[in-house]
Amino acid sequence: MTTLMIVESPSKAKKIGQMLGRDYRVVASVGHVRDLPPKSMGVAPPDFRPEYEPTDSGKKALSKLRKEMKGCDKILLATDPDREGESIAWHLKEALRLPEKKIARVTYNSVTESAVKDAIKNAGKINMRLVAAQEARRVLDRLVGYTLSFPLSDAIGDRASAGRVQTPTLIILAERDRAIKNFKPTKHFTATLTTESGFDADWITKPYVTEDKPYVLDRSLAEKAASARSIIVDEYAQKKVARKPPAPFTTSVMQQAASSTLSMSSKDCMNAAQKLFENGLITYHRTDSTHLEPDAVKAIREVLKEKGLPIPDKPPTHKSKAGAQEAHEAIRPTDPTNSNPTGSLGSNERRLYDLIHKHTLASQMANKIERVTTIKAHAEIDGQRFDYQAKATEVLEKGYTALTGRGKDDEPVVTLPKIEKGEAIAVGEGRVIDVPGRHARP
């Protein structure tokens, strides 16, 4: 009895084939096999039913799959666990005319032997809601793109395209560019006092600004605030603040982190993530969930214990954004003990894996605990009240920053002296701060 499993990529097919053995044939569809016709709308009122046809690559893939189907008793549609993957599974069923009793939908969040075999045991049906969601997006792309692109090209006398996503995005960029070009720099002022007790207190400008004019533009007012020779303490407060570790990566947060820390474009990031997923090193990389499976959390905590890193009594929980699919996991290493994967990985894959590995471990570490000290004071100058504030943060427990590197031992520790309410503090120097216009709001 032979079972045919259809996945999306050839490299994934090869890896899974090695896991499952001789009773399985594992082949790749190489992505979408059908789409709307490239030279006509392919969808029309009143029912807007899409007219699909095989793509050029899809014709070759379908021909190969028909040959592979021969002699197979069961066909597993194991495309990716997202809208596009669900759609590809449905298109394979329709294009190959597969009977319902002969097929099963298989989804797994990581290309590991245990995950794949468990997915096969729990095979189900195609989720037609996800198929409909993908189809709606595709039809909207076509209706907007084909309806607007040709008139737009005619209007500007050059080839141009419009789309469901790119057109509103272009509007946002154009409006922002216009705001930048029309921005008039506004120089504004604030003030800082250096007390003889050794700390700085910043002038609180809030009473002197409005929503329409959010900055102090009168330098003489700032000079008066800086002229205080003594301030009276109104409040001395200390509190402990717990900073939670970062949530495990979703797709968008991973892309942002790769850009800011690795200088990696979104495209390069997703290409690297795709290779890591296909090599069984990370869970599926298209997700908006911050959920981690209990077994994964347990494995991560064991790694943290071995490394001597701080972990809380109970694993941290991270709330996913509204609408996130909790059945999916966040992006994490499939094996948290593996900090340096072997195999033929490029530089981008290794750097991204290291980022994902470190971020995942940090997500399950203890809170960073800080002691925040605040001093609020005032001065009366020519019958006018000016308020000031000094704030200092001292790290009491590094928590997750012991791994991420923020909160190092060599960072200067800033503290404020204990001062009683009503106490007068002598001022050694007052300074007017000229804030360049580029910091003003456009």
Residues annotated as catalytic are 284
Closest among 437, 2, 384, 399 to 186, alpha carbons compared? 437
Q: Which residues pair with 54 in a beta bridge?
A: 34
Distance of CA 259 to the CA centre of its chain: 11
Q: Exposure pattern of 232-244 as b/e (b: 16+ CB <10 Å)?
A: ebeebeeeeeebe
| Residue 149 burial class via C-beta count within 10 angstroms: exposed 0-12, middle 13-18, buried 19 and up | middle
Residue with tokens 């809170």: 367
Which amino acid, 164?
Answer: R
Burial classification of residue 144, based on how many CB atoms lie within 10 Å of its CB (0-12 exposed, 13-18 middle, 19 or more buried): middle
Q: Of 207, 248, 218, 213, which Cα lies nearest the Cα of 356?
A: 248
- Indicate the helix (H) or strand (E) that contains 386: strand 384-397
Q: Which two tokens stand for residue 54?
A: 């095989």
Q: In a 3-state reduction of DSSP, which class is residue 434?
A: strand
List beta partners, residue 373: 238, 392
Q: Which residues contact 168 (CB under 8 A, 6 or more apart)?
A: none
* Distance of alpha carbon 212 from alpha carbon 393, whole angstroms: 32
Name which of 363, 366, 367, 368 is nearest 297 in CA terms.
Answer: 363
Q: Measure Cα distances from 243 to 105, 153, 400 in Å.
A: 42, 52, 9
